[in-house]
């Protein structure tokens, strides 16, 4: 069994458990508020790659809306001089986040999940 098949089995087990109201046989590997979502919410066609930005914005509305929610942060990571980079450059539902701005800068910003 390869990794994709194993991960697909875990997602299927989680979806079946959630649909039946029972605790899933295997835990999902997503973290935080995304942990309760079926894998297919972010991963279409059984492809377990980082979702496209358009997938993220399907739920999170727009970069402008996200920038409004993080407006009190200094600097606001969603009002970047780099425009609107892919969400997965910084965010990961399956691993620790990585604050891409600090590749060049040294901002003291803690991301959820760090």
Mean pLDDT computed over every residue of the chain: 79
Does residue 7 belong to any structural domain of this protein? Answer: no
Supply the range of the domain harboring residue 63: 50-114
Does residue 55 belong to any structural domain of this protein? Answer: yes
Residue 112 has pLDDT above 70, yes or no: yes
Q: Of 5-9, 50-54, 110-114, where does the model show the most confidence? A: 50-54
Q: What predicted TM-score, i.e. pTM, was given to this entire model?
A: 0.68
Task: Name the pLDDT band for 35 (thresholds 50, 70, 90).
Answer: confident
Give the domain CATH number at 91: 1.10.1130.10
Does residue 35 belong to any structural domain of this protein? Answer: no
Q: Mean of the pLDDT values across residues 87-97?
A: 90
Q: Retrieve residue 24's tokens.
A: 């899933």
- Going by the DSSP 8-state scheme, the letter that residue 34 receives in this structure is G
Does residue 81 belong to any structural domain of this protein? Answer: yes
Q: What angle do CA 14, 53, 102 make, to 5 degrees?
A: 100
Does residue 77 belong to any structural domain of this protein? Answer: yes
Task: Name the pLDDT band for 76 (thresholds 50, 70, 90).
Answer: very high
* 37-72 per-position pLDDT tens digit: 898 999 887 778 889 999 999 999 999 999 999 999
Q: How far apart are CA 23 and CA 84, in angstroms?
A: 38
Scanning the structure block, which residue is given the tokens 């969603």? 78
Residue among 39, 35, 37 nearest 12 (CA): 39
Check residue 18 and give its pLDDT.
46
More confident residue, 87 or 1: 87
Does residue 12 belong to any structural domain of this protein? Answer: no
Q: Are 42 and 34 within 8 A, CB to CB?
A: yes
Does residue 5 belong to any structural domain of this protein? Answer: no
Count the domains in the chain: 1
Q: Mean of the pLDDT values across residues 90-110?
A: 91
Does residue 43 belong to any structural domain of this protein? Answer: no
User: What's phi and psi for 76, nearest 5 deg?
Assistant: -80, 110
């Amino acid at each position: 069994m390869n990794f994709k098949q194993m991960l697909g089995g875990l997602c299927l087990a989680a979806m079946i458990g959630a649909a039946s109201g029972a605790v899933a046989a295997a835990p999902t590997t997503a973290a935080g508020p995304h942990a309760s979502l079926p894998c297919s919410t972010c991963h279409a066609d059984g492809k377990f790659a980082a979702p496209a930005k358009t997938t993220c914005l399907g739920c999170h509305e727009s970069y402008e809306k996200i920038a409004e929610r993080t407006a009190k942060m200094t600097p606001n990571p969603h009002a970047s001089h780099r425009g609107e980079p892919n969400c997965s450059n910084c965010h990961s539902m399956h691993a620790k986040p990585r604050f891409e701005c600090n590749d060049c800068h040294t901002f003291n910003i803690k991301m959820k999940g760090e």
